[in-house]
Amino acid sequence: MAAAVLLSKHVNGGHESVRFAVHRMQIAVRTLVTILLVLLRTAAASVTCAAQEPEIVVEVDRQQLYEGESITYRITLNHVEKPAPPQLSGFDRFEVVSLGEQSLNSRQITIINGRRSEVIRRGHQYNYRLTPTEAGQFNIPAPTAVVDGQTLVGRRIAIGVIAPADQDVVLLEMKSSKAIVYPMQPFTISLTVAVQQLPNELSERSPLSVQGGDPVHLSVPWLDDDQVPSGLSPKIAWDDVMNPLVSRSAGGRRGSDGMRVNNIDRQSAFSIFSGGAMVFLPPSVRTTRTNGDGERIPYVEYTFEREFTPQTSGTFSFGPVTMKGMFGTELSEGKLDGEQIYAVAKAITVVARDAPPEGRPSSFSGGIGVFNVTASLNPVSASVGDPLTLSLRIQGRGTLAEVRPPDISSIPEVSQFFRTYDATEATQDNAREFTYSVRPLTTDVREFPAVPISYFDVENEDYVTVSTAPIPVKIKAARQLSASDIVSQQATGTDSRLEVSEAGIFANHSNLQDLRASDVSISRWLMMWFGMLMVYGLTSFGLVRYRRLHSDPLERRRRSAKSHAADSLRLAEQHQDSAQKECLDAMNLAVTGLIADFNRVSSAGMTSRDAAARLHAVGADASMQDRTAAFLDTCDAARYGATEKGTSDLLIDCRRLVNDLGRELEKRC
């Protein structure tokens, strides 16, 4: 019996050993299969990547916009080792402004419903701002690029540009004091905003004081220093232009009189104010205009002006200017009814042309403005063949960067008596200085002659020639040395010995202790003091960091950013079926407020472009920037009925965007 029990245990133990061995073998086989699959996928991906051909990827941030608005146009040369800038031919319907370029080296893997997709980008990206010059449905032409002798062609993109509706409630007019100028000749750009007078007994009120808490928005590119065309110099900085125009009625709160301009907020524009939207009220006059039916309509006109000075020749574009918002149009049963208006002033151009070729003297230096010239020569006494230094200084107000060194060798009095060499150039404040090396050829010379220099005077529109004063010189014959004059002097009566030690060479000392104490270790004292300073600095930094994290209201705002966005989403849900405007406002605030809280800035007046710029500044993914800007533009278009999406669909998109934005900003901020 005992033997049977032992046999049973032995057999059962053997079975357990066999099962354990089989289980280990199964695990090993599964691991091996997994490794092989990973290797195969990696090899396939490598082969796929290696086989990928160069391509042009074309993207826009949106395909529907109003006339006068701009879109961001992005061209990516993908899988290209040596990129070349793309060629944009046929873009006659657009004003094209380069926004810079960047190198790309990214790999994005997405798994949706178990399906894995991979996007690899290695190359160069070029960004542009496109402003359509007309309304309608048309295509953005396909860009091209030549890479390694191969011409790559991108895709065309269809866009829709919505023209503003015909209306006479708001009229925008832009003009220049001069259509053609010369460099350094100032001109003034002015914008007139004419708003129809309020009806009946409200006629004495300002038509910009009835918008409630959402003032009308005006976009004027040339009032923003960052959008002033290159080559132009504003007479006054943009904040000095706008500061006197700040509305004093209610500081931007409900009931204030004025308009938003370029989405300027208090925090970014004027540090003496707290955060919040800025409202501006330029000077106004009451006048009348004749409409298409011949009727005289009363208006209130507001005017913006700014003076510019071209630094170079060229064609400069201003605009377009846009204005949108709610305006009071009709009084019904004591209640003022409003209408959403979108108005556009088309762009205008000013041409700064170069100095005319007619009547141009040979001494023309390329300068346009008003200048004077002086000369100096050093030394003024020398022998024939000795080098002299001639300095010409051209000073004044004008295009100094275009001033060229005069060709003094073409002056007969100079070439007859001096050998000249090419000049070196230097710019100092409002002056250009040219330095020449000259050598006298004869003793007959008594002065260095006057140097004429001509410039173009923009005030009189004529060439003016000024000359330096002649410089008296004394030139004597060159001395000829004999062979006996060329000798080397022998040192006598001097001790040329040097005392050498491992610590260095000390003249006139035989004992090193006379010069320094060799038993003092300065390095130890320095290390000790440096260590004490490091400990003190780290301790102070830790205390400041602790206080900032626990007492800084901006840091608390960042931590509560996602909860604020959730509150805005709940508010949007409440107004989803009852009030479209309030629902759109809440969705807009959910997105812009989230970005503003993480960036610790004001969300008031944040546009789609501002939001994308904030995301770009913190290093957010480019697709997230485009997605955010597109959603905010869609919300804005929904206010004017320019989108087919309903509030329910927008709300679904908003929830997804807020969730993704929150995760992205937590990583970046």
Confidence class for position 638, pLDDT limits 50, 70, 90: confident
Is the pLDDT confidence value at 342 over 90? Answer: yes
Instruction: Name the 3-class secondary structure at 151.
Output: strand
CA-closest candidate to residue 325, choices 218, 216, 219 = 216
The Cβ of residue 141 has, within 10 Å, a number of other Cβ atoms equal to: 16
The H-or-E segment that residue 543 falls in is helix 522-551
Q: What is the pLDDT of residue 35?
A: 60
Q: What is the pLDDT of residue 302?
A: 96
Q: What is the pLDDT of residue 600?
A: 78
Q: What is the pLDDT of residue 6?
A: 37
Q: 3-class secondary structure for 590-644?
A: HHHHHHHHHHCCCCCCCCHHHHHHHHHHCCCCHHHHHHHHHHHHHHHHHHCCCCC
Is the pLDDT confidence value at 376 over 50? Answer: yes
Measured distance CA(453)–CA(332) in Å, rounded = 73
The residue-averaged pLDDT of 607-634 equals 86
Check residue 424 and report its DSSP letter: E
- The tokens for 72 are 């961001």
Is the pLDDT confidence value at 520 over 50? Answer: yes
Q: What is the pLDDT of residue 12?
A: 46
Q: What is the pLDDT of residue 338?
A: 87
CA-closest candidate to residue 140, choices 150, 132, 151, 149 = 132
Burial class (CB in 10 A: 0-12, 13-18, 19+), 352: buried
Phi-psi region of 222 (alpha: psi -120 to 50; beta: other; left: phi over 0): alpha
More confident: 106 or 176: 176
Is the pLDDT confidence value at 501 over 50? Answer: no
The Cβ of residue 78 has, within 10 Å, a number of other Cβ atoms equal to: 20
Confidence class for position 155, pLDDT limits 50, 70, 90: very high
The H-or-E segment that residue 418 falls in is strand 418-420
By the 8 A CB rule, do 398 and 368 touch?
yes
Is the pLDDT confidence value at 485 over 60? Answer: no
Alpha carbon distances (Å) from 626 to 59, 95, 610? 9, 21, 12
pLDDT-wise least confident of 42-51, 188-197, 410-419, 441-450: 42-51
Q: What is the pLDDT of residue 498?
A: 45
The residue-averaged pLDDT of 383-402 equals 90
Measured distance CA(372)–CA(658) in Å, rounded = 63
How high is the mean pLDDT of the chain? 81
Q: How far is CA 311 from the centre of its chain?
A: 20
By the 8 A CB rule, do 256 and 247 touch?
yes
Write down how long the chain is. Answer: 669
Measured distance CA(640)–CA(340) in Å, rounded = 7
The residue-averaged pLDDT of 626-650 equals 79
Is the pLDDT confidence value at 528 over 60? Answer: yes
CA-closest candidate to residue 561, choices 593, 602, 606, 605 = 593
Please enumerate in sequence order all residues whose Cβ is within 8 A of that of 408, keeping only pairs 6 or more positions apart, or say none.
390, 414, 420, 436, 438, 451
Please enumerate in sequence order all residues whose Cβ is within 8 A of that of 636, keeping only pairs 6 or more positions apart, or say none.
588, 608
Alpha carbon distances (Å) from 504 to 494, 507, 511, 524? 22, 10, 12, 22
Q: What whole-number percentage of the chain has pLDDT above 70?
A: 78
Maximum average pLDDT range among 111-120, 208-217, 329-338, 387-396: 387-396
pLDDT-wise least confident of 87-96, 163-172, 268-277, 303-312: 268-277
CA-closest candidate to residue 445, choices 526, 362, 386, 491 = 386
Q: What pTM did the predictor assign?
A: 0.57
Q: At what angle do helices 622-639 and 647-668 cross, to 10 degrees?
A: 150
The residue-averaged pLDDT of 288-297 equals 89
More confident: 51 or 335: 335
Q: 3-class secondary structure for 439-475?
A: EECCCCCCEECCCEEEEEECCCCEEEEEECCCEECEE
Query: Going along 421-579, which residue ranges are E strands?
Result: 424-428, 431-440, 447-448, 452-457, 462-467, 471-472, 474-476, 500-501, 504-505
The residue-averaged pLDDT of 198-208 equals 90
Q: What are phi and psi of 508, to 5 degrees?
A: 65, 25
Measured distance CA(50)–CA(393) in Å, rounded = 60
Confidence class for position 471, pLDDT limits 50, 70, 90: very high
Q: CA 221, 323, 165 angle in degrees (round to 5)?
A: 130
**Tens digit of each residue's pLDDT (9 = 90 or more) over 14-37:** 444 445 455 566 666 566 656 655
pLDDT-wise least confident of 49-58, 64-73, 505-514: 505-514
In degrees to the nearest 10, what's the CA dihedral of 182, 184, 185, 188?
120
The residue-averaged pLDDT of 326-350 equals 89
Burial class (CB in 10 A: 0-12, 13-18, 19+), 388: buried
CA-closest candidate to residue 378, choices 387, 370, 369 = 387
**Tens digit of each residue's pLDDT (9 = 90 or more) over 432-454:** 999 999 999 999 999 999 999 99
Alpha carbon distances (Å) from 648 to 259, 565, 595? 31, 17, 23
Q: What are phi and psi of 578, to 5 degrees?
A: -110, -40
By the 8 A CB rule, do 172 and 344 touch?
yes
CA-closest candidate to residue 595, choices 525, 543, 536, 669 = 669
CA-closest candidate to residue 106, choices 660, 622, 669, 653 = 622
DSSP assignment of 347-384: -EEEEEPPPPSTT--TTEEEEEEEEEEEEEEE-SEEET
Is the pLDDT confidence value at 282 over 80? Answer: yes
The H-or-E segment that residue 160 falls in is strand 157-162
